[in-house]
Structure 1
Amino acid sequence: VWVRGALRFSKTPNGGEKLLAAASSHKCLIQLEDVAAESEREEVVARYFLKQGVQVIVYLGDITKQEADALVNAANEDLRHSGGVALALSKAAGPEVQRESSDLVRRDGKVATGDAVMTSGGKLKCKKLLHAVGPEKDKAGGRERELQVVQGDIIHEKTDVIVNSTGFKSEPAGVSKAILTAAGPPVQAELFNGQKHKFIYIHSGLLGCKEIVHVQTDQEAQATNKTCKKVLKLCESKGFTSAAFPAINTGTNFKKVEVDPNSVEYQDIAKGFHKTAKYKIHKIERVQNYHLWSGYFVMRRKMEMKNSAAELGEKYLYHGTSAESCHCIERDRFDRNYTGAHGASYGAGVYFAINASYSANSRYAKPDPAGLKRMYVARVLTGHHTLGDSSMKSPPQRGDDPSDKYDSLVDNLQSPSMYVIFHDDQAYPEYLITFI
């Protein structure tokens, strides 16, 4: 029996003695508890005794405050703790747990359904966290409907349908232009030569989806909701399980965003930098340029068709530069005309280093008046490479076909420390690290 005010009564004159007398006469235990703490008290829902003599207790409470040797987290195969209880545990544990999880996946690959992996408990009141991956709903016979708001590039999404909002009468801009550029000329021609209906269904072109649905833009929220519902019904009728919609008002072609130092994204970039470069990071910025990304994406698809997906050689590499060159690189890609500071020892192209320490050299990452240096972390398509030399204006051909050339040059075939590319769209300046 819970009696409110018992703790307060026990502190009155003779209150404690009266409670002891009551407990003695009724042969019971009186437990005093603060009312403020009562709301946080765990409630035992059920108890079970297994054959082995183990007792299982079901509590109703906050698992992030639970004291135990180990807590179990219902995780996904990527160990991205981005929603539900997994997100709550990750937030309470601190960034260390997500960092350990990402390292596990990077080292050993995705966690198979039915398996579990272990990390530290971080700031939780446990020694270890067990991340168990259960079956997906659609594979278990159920129907799953999920809405996710994702920050990223829609043209790079692996989905059944990509939705493109267009005005039909005007030239495409922003996200719409990026989608059409990445899809390729055949899709552009099919869209603008066809009849202008509210919905137009077109094949995906060079994009990694099955179909593109072009819908006429309407600024009214009610009309937009109806359009979204129609697209989702279309997906269901065709058996599609996923669709990517562009966010409203995402027509900005260029944006530079400072990355949160507490985020996993920041920690991953900083970790790669600090493997070889022992400098203090001032800030990390993400470069978002739809035109440059579209060019890179198209080049990626071309190389994928030429070399196969396994031989893309897509890598994160480093490129030191001056503050003056940043504006040009972020808006008009890595151009050989203003990256000549790296010399031409292995060919007259754009140079990228495997180790950040090389690009951090003041010869390349020139300090500004405040002593700050700058370095890009770029996505680079290295593909098939061969040994370069100073006389090369472009990569040599690989075989008898003069049109089939190597994709990049290196300084050492057995153990490259740098890559040289000759096509501007082979690299995308994804992050800018400012350091001292």
Structure 2
Amino acid sequence: MFTCWGREDNDTEPMETSYYSCDWFYQAVCGSWHRTEVSSHFITIPKLFPTCFHKASFPLQDDPVNPISSSEMEMLYCRDPLGSITFNTAGGNFRIDFAGYWKTNIRTGQRQKLKRSFSTDHIERCKCKDQAPSIPAYWENMDPNARFKAFKVSWQTSEYQNVERYVREIGLLQEPLRVLYRVQNVDLWELYSRKKIQLMRIKGQSDIEQRWLFHGTGKNNVENICLYNFDCRISESKRQGHVLGKGTYFALHASYADKYSRILSQGVNDTRIMFLARVIVGKYTTGRPDLCKPDGDQIENIHDSCVDNTLCPRIFVVFNSDQIYPEYVLEYGG
């Protein structure tokens, strides 16, 4: 995963620098300090079978830029406080310089500040507890005053390859993926993260089902969706036959969402556009045309979304925009 530069392991013994062990923190895009942790988030996806779908897990790391834990970083630091390490991740190739407390993207030269601090209960509480949901560490640095930015993802990264494989194998899209953009919108990400936490707390669950789902659209809608998210009210007013409810519709298969994609520009390539969104589907029920929320007029909200078929869902309807994060914009076809 990573390579140590400097002294060989047998040249020095790990040294005890203090009575307390230390942890490592990185300064996120939001300016807050977050503990360096190894964490993976799993999006539930269907695995294709002849008759139906069975659930499987597709790993989607929230922090792939930090593939080593705080304790591992501390161990390497103690071996050589002036040394450095390099590693490859979904976000690119990185180098950590212990002497200067920097993490550097080798390709772009962008740097992220690091901090080493005693791991006392007080520090943990100040740094990590009760903070806003963490922004994914693989996000690139952006202007803090920008409301959103779409970053082109290099085809050479594992991030691109994972999405491309998902689009092809799960989305069943036959046409080639031309360009992939990662949408970075701090406000929408925090709304999505808080909604996930809220639903888990209300339901008394340690997790809730999320999926990567497709939504075809036209070029004129892309900027507004990236900025404000999908608007369920607008979706409802523009839809002629909302057979599963008056919300925003997503498809399991990109090949189905392709019906609603519009050509970017008429020409030889006929490139089209589509969103790959992260969606909290939770517990779902069969939809109906009159529904404005999954459970209709019932006071208690048991369900979180509507589907076409609860056993083998292919179409999902969401009525609350906070359950959606427009994660990627796909340009494809031609």
Taking structure 1 as the reference length, the TM-score comes to 0.46
Do residues 331 (structure 1) and 227 (structure 2) align?
yes
Residue pairs, 1:215-234, within 5 angstroms = 232=117
Question: Closer, same or farther in 2 for the Cα pair 1:391/1:373, shift >3 Å?
Answer: same
Amino acid paired to 1:256: A
3-state SS of paired residue (1:284): strand
Count matched residues. 229
The answer to whether 1:387 aligns with 2:286 is: yes
Q: Structure 1 residues 272, 343: closer, same or farther in 2, change over 3 A?
A: farther
- For the pair shown, the structure with the greater C-alpha radius of gyration is 1
Matched, 1:284 2:180: yes
Give the match's secondary structure for 2:117.
helix
The amino acid across from 2:193 in the alignment is: F
Deviation at 1:242, TM superposition (A): 10
Shift of 1:255: 1.1
**Partner of 1:352 in structure 2?**
250
Name the structure 1 match of 2:277: 378
| Partner Cα distance (2:33, 2:234) in 1 | 29
Unaligned segments of structure 2, at least 5 residues: 6-14, 38-113, 129-133, 136-140
Residue 264 (structure 1) aligns with: 158
> Does the residue aligned with 1:269 lie in a helix, a strand or coil?
helix
More helix by percentage: 1
C-alpha contact (below 8 Å) 2:307/2:313 kept by paired residues: yes
1:343 CA displacement: 3.9
Higher mean C-alpha deviation, range 240-249 or range 341-350? 240-249
Deviation at 1:354, TM superposition (A): 1.1
Partners of 2:25 and 2:36 within 8 A in 1? no
Mapped partners of 2:32, 2:247: distance in 1: 28
Once the 2 structures are TM-superposed, how far is the Cα of residue 248 of structure 1 from its aligned partner?
9.7
Identity over aligned pairs, percent:
24
Instruction: State whether structure 2 residue 313 is matched by structure 1 residue 416.
Output: yes
CA distance in 2, matches of 1:232, 1:249: 27
Q: Aligned in 2, Cα 1:416/1:423: closer, same or farther, shift over 3 Å? A: same
Aligned counterparts of 1:299 and 1:411: Cα–Cα separation in 2: 24
Q: 1:157 to 1:387 in 2, by over 3 A?
A: farther
- 1:434 alignment partner AA: E
Map of 2:213 onto structure 1:
317
1:146 is displaced (CA, Å) by: 4.4
- Do the aligned partners of 1:381 and 1:426 also contact (CA within 8 Å) in 2? yes
Q: CA deviation at 1:369?
A: 2.2
Q: Which has the higher contact order (CA 8 A, sep 6+)?
A: 2
Superposed counterparts of 1:63-78, under 5 Å: none
Shift in Å, 1:384: 1.3
What SS does structure 1 have at the residue aligned with 2:124?
A: coil
The whole-number CA distance in structure 1 between the counterparts of 2:290 and 2:207 is 26
Distance of 1:328 and 1:420 partners within structure 2: 20
The answer to whether the 8 A contact 1:311-1:383 is kept is no
Aligned to 1:426: 323
Superposition deviation, residue 395 in structure 1: 1.4
Q: 1:300 — aligned with what? A: 196
Say yes or no: does 1:240 pair with 2:124: yes
Deviation for aligned residue 1:308: 3.8
- What is the SS of the residue equivalent to 2:227? helix
Q: Secondary structure at the match of 1:286?
A: strand
Contact 1:317–1:380, Cα closer than 8 Å, also in 2: yes
Q: Distance in 2 between matches of 1:155 and 1:351?
A: 35
How far did residue 387 of structure 1 move? Answer: 0.4
Measure how far apart 1:341 and its partner are. Answer: 4.5
SS at match of 1:368: coil
Cα shift readout 1:12-32 (whole Å, capped 9, x = no counterpart): xxxxxxxxxxxxxxxxxxxxx
Distance 1:277 1:336, change over 3 A: same
Kept in 2, the 8 Å contact 1:397–1:405? The answer is no
Whole-Å separation in 1 of the counterparts to 2:21 and 2:33 = 26
Measure how far apart 1:252 and its partner are: 3.2
Within 5 Å, give how 1:42-53 maps onto structure 2: none
Task: Go from structure 1 to structure 2 and tell me whether the alpha carbon gap of 1:353 and 1:242 turns closer, same or farther (over 3 Å shift).
Answer: farther
Offset at residue 251 of structure 1 (A): 4.4
What amino acid sits opposite 1:336 in the alignment? C
For residue 249 of structure 1, report the CA deviation from its aligned partner: 6.1
Does the 8 Å contact 1:287/1:429 carry over to 2?
Answer: yes
Q: Any unmatched runs of 5+ in structure 1?
A: 1-80, 87-136, 161-227
Q: How far 1:257 sits from its partner (Å)?
A: 0.4
1:303 counterpart SS class:
helix
